[in-house]
């Protein structure tokens, strides 16, 4: 399988003889440094092989018959399992791979290039790179190789096909160093029989398991890997890394690094290891140079090195694995490209031919790692037909002692070389002695490339360049390509200076003018195209008008904005106004005046107007028009440039911002009103109760009464104290709900998932309400559904605080509606499901979640920890035996500030926020909430949330009931000392929907001595009671006397404002014979709200909280003012 000596010549002769589908591939791999060949799939015939492949075959195959073994592996592989690409195996100490090309061809290649070791005296020149890319060869089959082939011992497709696939993988022995078998790789077999007893590591059987495991992993790698073990950094390497130790192999196996490479290398490796440990990451060395003797000479090789530390089970250092990735060809290619670039830049600055040669050698003198020296010889007299002549030394670098003329041996070789590049070598006795220079720390130059530089006629020589190759560089096609590129650059530079000076100058001027003219023409055409394209593709409307209104140009965007066709627009323009049809009728007069002013005054025009496009008659657009005049030298208007832009979105945005601002203000006011109302109501009751306590106590200054506390007084104090606690708890619930709602509404609520047991959270809620359950004699319990126990739910990831808040809201409602029932039971049930539960699973009617909450839940439910189990859904329900709800009442639930019915607040209290907040919290956790109830049979509130199992059991923090304490900073006095107001004839109507506030206020008024205190729950009740009083004109024997009305503003059925208006309307109709004194009572203290009360007909307004002793003087003054006391 040796290559012919004229391989490059053959490539030119057979160029173009390949199938069309292989053309691109052959062009690509022709100059590739990796040995590559192309096979015909069915016959395994080699139809093409590149120069690197021939060089690899010709140098020294390490295994006889390796190519036949490779072909057998390809042909015997089972067709269904044959991949389109992949590794074949190791043959001739190289890893070979295959790649299917179409249906008929297979490319076979190795991952590492083999240096060209064919020392040629003359290598034919390839004048064209594309022409040299094809090297056809005589077809090569397996029968042309050695018939006594020895199969590669590496694992192949054939051996895989015959393996026992029924053997369990766990029974396979992969520690090849201890478990031998007949088909062992030769390298593994060599290691097993190596004399380890004489190494620092000792016999294989004494190695630690982790050492054998790491070395087995290194041996399995197809890339060079070296293992340094222990404090001594004993070396172990795989077969691909033999080059690291070179001729020392196998002595370094198992030996300390210092004994192999010396203390200097040992110290350098130690520094790398310590650096990596301090930085906490592997150490990487890029472009690391190693001098290796792989092919009979010391070669500069470049690698990317990665040192991976190997930790022990307790985290301490055991060793380090060095990964070698060869990048020699990449580094050399980069260096050669830089050299070529520098040569081209320096030579192009030359002004004469001698300057060209001086610039060339100066570039190579200090910047080339591939060229050891350079010498340039120029022609001194007319050459013969073969290019021979006398050549004298013109310039040189990095070499001394050269003669004045070109050595004769090279001159003779040039006469028969057909002006091709020549390679001369010392080992072939073709390198002249004066070129065999010695390079410090590198060695003597043994190879030089001779580059003939021809004249313009392509036959005669004008110069000869000799380049000495770096002794540590291998000879391969890439080196030849590099030298040929240098020759081509020099040829072009010499040809430029070979023209006569006048001809060269005239030609340069002509070329410059032609190029300038062509450039200007292209620029003008491109500028015109760009301008036209800019007008056409501009994002705004553009047009150009003459003074008479005729349109010269209009783009499509302007027509689209106006909703007009081009025909209609130009027709309207000819009539003098192209915009009349489009401008909105309300804006046309203003627009017309602005347009006329722009033409007459010459000032830039700017205006905003509306249009009504014909295609969309119901749509009104806002447009912004700008215009600029173009005038001639006399100041007369030539053209009017107009730009039109759609500003509808800007107008809509401004309107929307205004509406949003008003809506935000309205919501803020509603929120403040609600907070004020719900906080002031309980506080008002607390103050009134405090007054009741003080008024019930006997005077301390009276010795006869100071020690007497009647049973009635004691019971009164107990009742008052109980009501104070109830109001305080109610106020806390309201405040908590309002704050939670505020966070939800502002999207500031954050979930904090923890690892918890749901059952413990439920139990903590039961503990919170235990005192209330006991007080109302309600039996509360927890029940686990079969689905929960079947799934064995233990620890899950949830926010325990939010879960408890939802269940506590349900429990609070259940207690309210159950405490007056005959049967009093509340059960909290827990279920689970692997899939999203349905309404039947929850036994309730589920409320559809809102879209924005679903998206928010999807973002917030991303679990950062890795659960060991699947995602699951937990189902919670609270079932009570209370009064139940009707269908209509259930429809009002789960909305903000909404309760089942108006009487709910009166009878049970609450703000209407609890269930709404619960719904929000459930949906934030990826769930749904719902209710099922029957009037008179109880209710079931249920929800499900999404969570995930977690492995570690974490005890959730025990939820403790927050105790609320109220400190009353009140001054205790010795009984009432001030003069009591004269209230004996005062008849008062208290209109208040809150039962507690109503009761307390009525009690306090009675204690002050009022003749009679009536109560009403809302405005409608007040009107009915008012109709029976002396204020009505219908006189009757049983008419009720009335002096003043204390009218609450916020009430169900009929609020205070409506009631006051109705009373004043009855007065105007003379159905009420006298003015009814009305004092409004409200928890909303804004000026606008107080003004609304006065406007509705109230005489005065008192804001909560207030004291009765402060209210009575105002009541008496108002009654006296209107003389309404009966």
1028 contacts: CB under 8 Å, gap ≥ 6: 1038, 1039, 1040
Q: Where are the beta strands (DSSP E) in 992-1110?
A: 1012-1016, 1044-1048, 1078-1082, 1100-1103
Per-range mean pLDDT, top range of 52-66, 142-156, 482-496, 558-572: 482-496
Residue 968 lies in a domain: no
* CA–CA dist 1110, 36 (Å, integer): 107
Work out the pLDDT band at 853, boundaries 50, 70, 90. Answer: low
Check pLDDT > 50 for residue 877. yes
* CA–CA dist 945, 924 (Å, integer): 9
**Token pair belonging to 708:** 């007497």
922 contacts: CB under 8 Å, gap ≥ 6: 806, 928, 929, 943, 944, 945
Check pLDDT > 70 for residue 318. yes
Residue 424 lies in a domain: yes
460 contacts: CB under 8 Å, gap ≥ 6: 383, 387, 454
**1069: alpha, beta or left, given left = phi > 0 and alpha = psi -120 to 50?**
alpha
Range of weakest confidence among 114-118, 219-223, 841-845, 870-874: 114-118
What's the pLDDT at 111? Answer: 67
Work out the pLDDT band at 912, boundaries 50, 70, 90. Answer: low
Residue 467 lies in a domain: yes
Residue 778 lies in a domain: yes
Same domain, 885 and 764: yes
Q: DSSP 3-state assignment of 285?
A: strand
Check pLDDT > 90 for residue 802. no
By C-alpha distance, which of 43, 176, 60, 175 is closest to 114?
A: 60
Work out the pLDDT band at 1105, boundaries 50, 70, 90. Answer: confident
Work out the pLDDT band at 759, boundaries 50, 70, 90. Answer: very high
Give the CATH number of the domain where residue 1052 resides: 3.40.50.2300
* CA–CA dist 1078, 361 (Å, integer): 113
Same domain, 321 and 442: no
Range of weakest confidence among 150-159, 171-180, 202-211: 150-159
Same domain, 117 and 252: no
What are 38-68's pLDDT values in tens digits?
988 777 888 888 888 888 887 755 556 788 8
Work out the pLDDT band at 865, boundaries 50, 70, 90. Answer: very low
What's the pLDDT at 781? Answer: 92
How many Cβ atoms from other residues are within 10 Å of residue 985's Cβ?
A: 15
Work out the pLDDT band at 1108, boundaries 50, 70, 90. Answer: confident
**Token pair belonging to 729:** 């708890």
What's the pLDDT at 899? Answer: 46
- 273 versus 616: the higher-pLDDT residue is 273
What are 249-293's pLDDT values in tens digits?
899 999 998 998 888 888 888 888 888 888 888 888 888 888 877
Same domain, 887 and 775: yes
Residue 221 lies in a domain: yes
Q: Which residues of 167-178 are buried (b: 16+ CB within 10 A; e: fewer)?
A: eeeeeeeeebbe
696 contacts: CB under 8 Å, gap ≥ 6: 713, 716, 717, 720
**Stretch 457-471: mean pLDDT:** 86
The full 3-state SS of 398-434, as one line of letters, equals CCCCCCCECCHHHHHHHHCCCCCCEEEECCCCCCCHH
Q: 786: burial class by Cβ within 10 Å (0-12, 13-18, 19+)?
A: exposed
> pTM of the full predicted structure?
0.37
* CA–CA dist 363, 348 (Å, integer): 12
Q: Which of 302, 326, 350 is the last residue of a domain?
A: 326
Give the CATH number of the domain where residue 567 resides: 3.30.450.20
> Mean pLDDT of all residues in the chain?
77
Same domain, 356 and 410: yes
Give the CATH number of the domain where residue 799 resides: 3.30.565.10
Domain range enclosing 880: 753-948
- 886 versus 231: the higher-pLDDT residue is 231
For residues 946 and 796, the answer to whether their CB atoms sit within 8 Å is no
What's the pLDDT at 872? Answer: 92
Per-range mean pLDDT, top range of 804-813, 971-980, 1059-1068: 1059-1068
**Token pair belonging to 547:** 């003074």
Q: Which of 886, 919, 948 is the last residue of a domain?
A: 948
What's the pLDDT at 883? Answer: 82
Per-range mean pLDDT, top range of 256-260, 351-355, 549-553, 559-563: 256-260
pLDDT above 70 covers what percent of the chain? Answer: 74
**Stretch 1048-1055: mean pLDDT:** 91
The H or E element spanning position 8 is helix 7-13
What's the pLDDT at 85? Answer: 65
Work out the pLDDT band at 387, boundaries 50, 70, 90. Answer: very low
For residues 793 and 746, the answer to whether their CB atoms sit within 8 Å is no
- 84 versus 300: the higher-pLDDT residue is 300
What's the pLDDT at 1046? Answer: 95
- 844 versus 677: the higher-pLDDT residue is 844
DSSP letter for each residue of 300-321: EEEEEEEEEEEE-TTS-EEEEE
Residue listed under structure tokens 């009572």: 1081
* CA–CA dist 455, 463 (Å, integer): 9
Check pLDDT > 80 for residue 428. yes
* CA–CA dist 742, 729 (Å, integer): 20
**Token pair belonging to 1010:** 């009022």
For Cα atoms 938, 943, 949, give the angle at the middle one, nearest 5 degrees: 140
Q: Which of 161, 189, 208 is the last residue of a domain?
A: 161
* CA–CA dist 847, 858 (Å, integer): 18
Same domain, 345 and 319: no
What are 1094-1104's pLDDT values in tens digits?
999 999 999 87
Same domain, 142 and 250: no
Peptide linkage before 651 cis (omega within 30 of 0):
no
How many Cβ atoms from other residues are within 10 Å of residue 41's Cβ?
A: 15
Check pLDDT > 80 for residue 162. no
**Stretch 1005-1029: mean pLDDT:** 91
What's the pLDDT at 153? Answer: 38
Check pLDDT > 90 for residue 105. no
For residues 1126 and 1043, the answer to whether their CB atoms sit within 8 Å is yes
What's the pLDDT at 680? Answer: 65
* CA–CA dist 823, 883 (Å, integer): 10
- 723 versus 351: the higher-pLDDT residue is 351
Range of weakest confidence among 463-477, 748-762, 822-836: 748-762
Q: 413: burial class by Cβ within 10 Å (0-12, 13-18, 19+)?
A: middle
**What single DSSP character describes residue 584?**
-
- 126 versus 37: the higher-pLDDT residue is 37
Q: DSSP 3-state assignment of 209?
A: helix
What's the pLDDT at 3? Answer: 37
Same domain, 340 and 312: no
Same domain, 303 and 358: no
How many Cβ atoms from other residues are within 10 Å of residue 480's Cβ?
A: 21
What's the pLDDT at 1076? Answer: 94
- 1036 versus 1099: the higher-pLDDT residue is 1099
Residue 517 lies in a domain: no
**Token pair belonging to 983:** 């209230």
Same domain, 375 and 479: yes
By C-alpha distance, which of 479, 1031, 543, 961 is closest to 763?
A: 961
What's the pLDDT at 1055? Answer: 93
What's the pLDDT at 141? Answer: 36
Same domain, 874 and 939: yes
Residue 599 lies in a domain: yes
Work out the pLDDT band at 477, boundaries 50, 70, 90. Answer: confident
Range of weakest confidence among 204-218, 800-814, 1002-1016: 800-814
What are 500-534's pLDDT values in tens digits?
655 666 666 777 787 788 888 888 777 777 777 77
What's the pLDDT at 683? Answer: 66
Positive or negative: CA dihedral 161, 163, 168, 174: negative
Work out the pLDDT band at 669, boundaries 50, 70, 90. Answer: low
What's the pLDDT at 1100? Answer: 93
What's the pLDDT at 964? Answer: 28
* CA–CA dist 4, 233 (Å, integer): 48
Number of domains in the chain: 6
Residue 524 lies in a domain: no
Same domain, 292 and 370: no
What's the pLDDT at 499? Answer: 66
1023 contacts: CB under 8 Å, gap ≥ 6: 1054, 1059, 1062, 1063
Q: 312: burial class by Cβ within 10 Å (0-12, 13-18, 19+)?
A: exposed
């Amino acid at each position: 399988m040796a290559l012919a000596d004229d391989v490059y010549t053959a490539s030119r002769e057979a160029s173009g003889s390949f199938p069309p589908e292989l053309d691109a591939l052959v062009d690509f791999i022709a100059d590739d440094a990796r040995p590559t060949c192309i096979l015909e799939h069915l016959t395994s015939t080699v139809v093409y092989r590149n120069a690197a492949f021939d060089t690899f075959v010709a140098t020294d195959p390490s295994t006889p018959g390796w190519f036949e073994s490779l072909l057998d592996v390809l042909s015997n592989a089972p067709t269904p399992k044959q991949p389109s690409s992949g590794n074949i195996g190791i043959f001739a100490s190289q890893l070979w791979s295959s790649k299917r090309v179409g249906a008929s061809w297979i490319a076979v290649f190795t991952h590492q290039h083999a240096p060209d070791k064919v020392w040629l005296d003359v290598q034919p020149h390839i004048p064209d790179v594309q022409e040299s890319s094809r090297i056809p060869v005589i077809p090569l089959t397996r029968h042309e190789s050695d018939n006594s082939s020895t199969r590669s011992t590496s694992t192949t497709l054939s051996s895989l096909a015959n393996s026992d696939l029924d053997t369990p993988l766990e029974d396979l022995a992969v520690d090849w160093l201890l478990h031998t078998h007949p088909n062992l790789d030769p390298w593994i077999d060599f290691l097993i029989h190596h004399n380890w007893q004489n190494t620092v590591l000792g016999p294989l059987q004494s190695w630690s398991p982790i050492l054998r495991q790491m070395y087995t992993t290194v041996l399995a790698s197809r890339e060079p890997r070296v293992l340094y073990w222990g404090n001594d950094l004993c070396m172990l390497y795989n077969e691909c890394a033999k080059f690291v130790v070179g001729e020392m192999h196998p002595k370094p196996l198992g030996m300390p690094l210092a004994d192999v490479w010396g203390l200097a290398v040992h110290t350098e490796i130690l520094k790398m290891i310590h650096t990596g440990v301090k930085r906490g990451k592997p150490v990487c060395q890029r472009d690391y140079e190693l001098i290796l003797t792989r092919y009979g000479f010391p070669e500069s090789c470049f690698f990317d090195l990665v040192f991976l530390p190997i930790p022990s089970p307790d985290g301490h250092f055991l060793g380090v694995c060095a990964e070698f990735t060869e990048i020699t060809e990449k580094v050399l290619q980069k260096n050669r490209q830089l050299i070529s670039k520098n040569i081209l830049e320096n030579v192009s600055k030359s002004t004469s031919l001698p300057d060209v040669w001086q610039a060339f050698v100066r570039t190579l003198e200090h910047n080339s790692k591939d060229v050891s020296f350079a010498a340039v010889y120029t022609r001194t007299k007319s050459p013969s037909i073969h290019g021979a002549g006398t050549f004298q030394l013109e310039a040189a670098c990095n070499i001394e002692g050269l003669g004045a003329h070109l050595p004769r041996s090279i001159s003779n070789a040039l006469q028969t070389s057909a002006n091709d590049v020549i390679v001369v070598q010392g080992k072939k006795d073709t390198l002249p002695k004066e070129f065999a220079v010695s390079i410090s720390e590198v060695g003597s130059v043994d190879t030089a490339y001779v580059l003939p530089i021809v004249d313009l006629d392509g036959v005669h020589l004008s110069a000869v360049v000799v380049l000495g190759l770096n002794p540590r560089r291998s000879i391969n096609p890439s080196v030849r390509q590099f030298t040929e590129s240098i020759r081509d650059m020099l040829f072009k530079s010499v040809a430029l200076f070979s023209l006569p000076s006048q001809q060269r100058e005239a030609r340069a001027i002509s070329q410059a003018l032609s190029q300038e003219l062509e450039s200007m023409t292209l620029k003008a055409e491109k500028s015109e195209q760009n301008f036209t394209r800019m007008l056409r593709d501009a994002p705004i409307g553009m047009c150009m008008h003459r003074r008479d209104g005729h349109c010269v140009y209009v783009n499509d965007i302007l027509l689209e904005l106006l909703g007009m066709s081009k025909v209609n627009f130009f027709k309207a323009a000819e009539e003098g106004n192209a915009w009349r049809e489009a401008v909105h009728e309300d804006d046309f007069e203003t627009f017309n005046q602005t347009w006329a002013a722009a033409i007459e005054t010459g000032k830039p025009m700017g205006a905003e107007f509306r249009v009504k496009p014909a295609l969309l008659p119901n749509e009104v657009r806002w447009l912004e028009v700008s215009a600029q005049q173009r005038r001639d030298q006399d100041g007369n208007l030539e053209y009017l440039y107009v730009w039109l832009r759609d500003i509808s979105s800007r107008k809509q945005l401004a309107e929307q911002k205004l509406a949003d601002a008003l809506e935000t203000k309205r919501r803020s006011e509603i929120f403040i009103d609600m907070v004020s109302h719900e906080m002031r109501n309980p506080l008002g009751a607390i103050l009134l109760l405090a007054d009741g306590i003080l008024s019930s106590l006997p005077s301390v200054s009276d010795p006869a009464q100071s020690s007497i506390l009647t049973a009635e007084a004691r019971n009164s104090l107990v009742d008052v104290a109980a009501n104070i606690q109830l109001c305080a708890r109610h106020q806390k619930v309201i405040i908590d709900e309002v704050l939670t709602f505020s966070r939800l509404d502002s999207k500031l609520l954050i979930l904090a998932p923890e690892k918890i047991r749901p059952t413990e959270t439920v139990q903590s809620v039961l503990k919170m309400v235990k005192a209330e359950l006991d007080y109302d004699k309600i039996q509360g319990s927890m029940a686990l559904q079969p689905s929960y126990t079947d799934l064995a739910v233990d620890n899950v990831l949830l926010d325990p605080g939010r879960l408890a808040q939802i269940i506590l809201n349900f429990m609070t409602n259940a207690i309210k509606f159950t405490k007056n029932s005959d049967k009093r039971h509340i059960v909290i049930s827990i279920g689970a499901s692997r899939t999203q539960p349905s309404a039947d699973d929850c036994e309730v009617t589920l409320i559809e979640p809102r879209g924005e909450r679903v998206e928010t839940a999807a973002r917030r439910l991303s679990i950062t920890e890795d659960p060991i189990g699947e995602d699951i859904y937990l189902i919670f329900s609270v079932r009570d035996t209370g009064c139940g709800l009707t269908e209509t009442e259930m429809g009002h639930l789960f909305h903000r500030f909404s309760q089942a019915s108006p009487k709910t607040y009166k009878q049970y209290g609450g703000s209407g926020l609890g269930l709404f907040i619960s719904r929000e919290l459930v949906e934030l956790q990826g769930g749904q909430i719902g209710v099922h109830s029957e009037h008179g049979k109880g209710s079931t509130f249920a929800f499900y949330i999404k969570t995930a199992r977690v492995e570690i059991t974490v005890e959730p923090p025990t939820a403790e009931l927050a105790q609320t304490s109220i400190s009353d900073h009140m001054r205790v006095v010795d009984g009432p000392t001030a003069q009591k107001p004269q209230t004996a004839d005062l008849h008062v109507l208290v209109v208040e929907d809150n039962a507690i506030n109503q009761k307390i206020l009525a009690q306090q008024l009675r204690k002050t001595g009022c003749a009679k205190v009536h109560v009403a729950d809302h405005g409608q009740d007040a009107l009915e009671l008012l109709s029976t009083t002396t204020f009505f004109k219908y006189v009757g024997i049983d008419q009720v006397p009335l002096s003043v009305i204390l009218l609450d503003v916020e009430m169900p059925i009929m609020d205070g404002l409506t009631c006051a208006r109705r009373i004043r309307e009855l007065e105007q109709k003379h159905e009420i014979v006298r003015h009814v004194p009305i004092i409004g009572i409200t928890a909303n203290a804004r000026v606008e709200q107080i003004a609304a009360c006065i406007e509705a007909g109230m005489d005065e307004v008192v804001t909560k909280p207030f004291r009765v002793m402060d209210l009575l003087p105002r009541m008496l003054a108002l009654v006296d003012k209107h003389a309404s006391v009966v």
